[in-house]
Amino acid sequence: MYFFTYIATLLNLNCPMLEFLKDFWLFLMERKKWWLAPIIIVLLLLGILLIFSGGSAVTPFIYTLF
């Protein structure tokens, strides 16, 4: 049920990213805000796309998407 809590316990790490994911998961479970998950995922994917495309040969293809 608490997947990220289980993973953090299993790995026994104090990784800030795992802690953030655990807190986000618990927030979604507790407040029933499931509609936030797709928005966050899309924003993360766009951020990753912008980071990897900065100053590379992929940039002209990104302009065609928008």
Residue with tokens 């927030």: 27
Residues of the chain with pLDDT under 50: 1
The predicted structure's pLDDT at residue 28: 84
d(CA 59, CA 53): 6
| CA-closest candidate to residue 65, choices 4, 31, 53 | 53
The predicted structure's pLDDT at residue 4: 63
The predicted structure's pLDDT at residue 24: 82
Residue with tokens 């507790």: 30
| CA-closest candidate to residue 53, choices 40, 62, 44 | 62
Residues 6+ positions from 32 with CB-CB distance below 8 Å: none
d(CA 19, CA 50): 25
The predicted structure's pLDDT at residue 29: 83
| Sequence spans of domains, the chain | 1-34, 36-66
